[in-house]
Every structure is written in structure tokens, then in C-alpha cells.
Amino acid sequence: MIKGGPKKDLQGKQIQSILISQPKPETEKSPYFDLAKKFNIKLDFCPFIRVEGLPAKEFRKQKIDILNFTAVIFTSRNSVDHFFRICEEMKVKVSQDCKYFCITEAVALYLQKFILYRKRKVFYGADGSTKGVLEVMNKHRDNEKFLFPSSDSQKKDIEEWLKANKCEYATATLYKTVSTDVKEVLAATSYDMIVFFSPSGVRSLFENMPGFEQNGTHIGAFGPTTSAAVEEAGLRLDVKAPLPQAPSMAAALELYLTTLIKK
């Protein structure tokens, strides 16, 4: 139950419940559970979106030959998953010389699930921002043909950079994000904070609750595009990650909750 009341400054209020808009971690060793115990808070998990992969038949309609490209740009684990899924479905074997440009180190390390990491050329932005990975790509832009796997709702900033710098590239739509029905979850509990991990998650909130008003609800966002989506929706962003001192969302939440206690 996320309802509007009188608008007030709740920066000093102790947070007692947080809704994480992702699936519940499969392992009890997740830092989120440590966070819940440390601060004695109610921590619930509920994905606001689901990802649906485009079948190979649909991808072929884009007329993109994966083997024509020498570098791939990844902005999320979903893009990694669906790139290699399409490759497997189409029986495409990616060259060992292919380069991978990832928005964060976490996404880069996730590649180990699919490739021999040390034998490939993997790059990532230093600060987890789009600007960071573009700075790395800028050093290679004249010698590479870039393939940009994306969703149907991918923010266009990377594509605009590729176009502005006259790079050889193609954007491949490999999956789409669909809002899930979370009305009952939002109606059941009055959460003090909601944490988002994608612009699609923010969109899902308003699709489920068209009249949503933030009022005292704290908002957290992971990633630059998610943070931008929160602010573009007219919401106040209270917790932003990653940060140099908090590379994960759990770490950013711990830092924020600690700060509230000290107030």
C-alpha cells in the first residue's frame, strides 16, 4: 500500500521496509539478507518487469550478420544472456578475437559464464557510467565494427554516440521488457523505500499505479540510466548506485541507512 499523504521531509525517518524490484536471491548469502538483519528491516523482493527474448526467427528479420562485427557492447547481464542465446540458436561461433565493451566490471565478469575471460579482450568503464564505457570505446572506434545488443526500450545514448562518431555499428534488438502485475504487492504493504534497477522498472511502477505520488517514499536506483529515469519521472532520488564507496546496490543502501541512523 503506497499511498500519498501530506508531503513532508522524511530524510531523518528510520526506514523499516524496502521493496527490491528484482527476484529474491537464490542464496541466503546475499548481502541483502545481511542488510535486513543488521538494520532490522523488512526486505521484500518482487520483479517489476520480465524479459522476453526474441526468437531467432524474429532476429533474422533484422538482417544482421553477427560475424561481420569485431566488437560487442554490453550494458546489462540481460544483453549478455540474449546475445549468446541467439548465437547458440543460430549456431554462430563468435571469433576469439572479438572484443567486448561492458558498462560495468560486474557485467564484464559475467562474461565468464560464456567465454574464457582471459583469452578474450574485455573492457569496461571505470565508474559504471555510460560515459565511462564510451571513453574506453573511443580509443578503439576507428578499428572496430560494433554490435550493440539491446532491448526494445534501450536508451539511445550509446547508439547516438556511435552515430555521431561515424562508427561502423548495428543495433540488434534481442529481447524486450514487459511490465509485471505488482498491484497486489504495492497494495499489501506501505513500503518506506522502493529500489529500481532499470528504466523499465520505473515505467512498470506507473503502469501499475498511474496515480502514484512519491510523498515520503524513498527511492533507490542502480545504474545511470535508471537514475535518469527516476528523475525524469519527477521522483526524488535518494539512493544512487554504483558509487566509488558503494559499488553495489546493497552497499549503497547500507551507506544510506547508516547515514539516517546518525541523523
Query: pLDDT digits over 216-238, tens only?
Result: 999 999 988 899 999 999 999 99
| Grid cell of 176 as nine digits | 524486450
pLDDT digits (tens, 9 = 90+) for 44-92: 999 999 989 999 999 999 999 999 999 999 998 999 999 999 999 999 9
Instruction: Give mean pLDDT, residues 235-256.
Output: 93
CB 73 within 8 A of CB 101: yes
- Is 52-177 the same fold as 17-48+181-262? yes
Instruction: Report CA-CA distances (Å) from 190 to 19, 137, 194, 219.
Output: 10, 44, 10, 13
For the chain, give the mean pLDDT: 90
- This prediction has a pTM of 0.69
pLDDT at 257 over 80: yes
The H or E element containing residue 100 is: strand 99-102
Phi/psi at 220 (5° precision): -120, 150
Rounded CA-CA distance 170/256 in Å is 40
pLDDT at 9 over 80: no
> Class assignment of domain 52-177?
alpha beta
Q: Quote the pLDDT of residue 160.
A: 95
Rounded CA-CA distance 209/109 in Å is 36
Domain spans, the chain = 17-48+181-262, 52-177
Q: Calculate what percentage of the chain has a pLDDT beyond 90.
A: 73
Contacts of 260 (CB under 8 A, 6+ apart): 11, 12, 13, 14, 15
End-to-end CA distance of the chain: 27
Q: Which of 39-48, 88-97, 122-131, 248-257 has the lowest mean pLDDT?
A: 122-131
CATH T-level fold of 17-48+181-262 = Rossmann fold (3.40.50)
Q: Which amino acid is at 191?
A: Y
pLDDT at 3 over 80: no
Instruction: Give mean pLDDT, residues 139-166.
Output: 91
Q: Bigger pLDDT: 119 or 96? A: 96
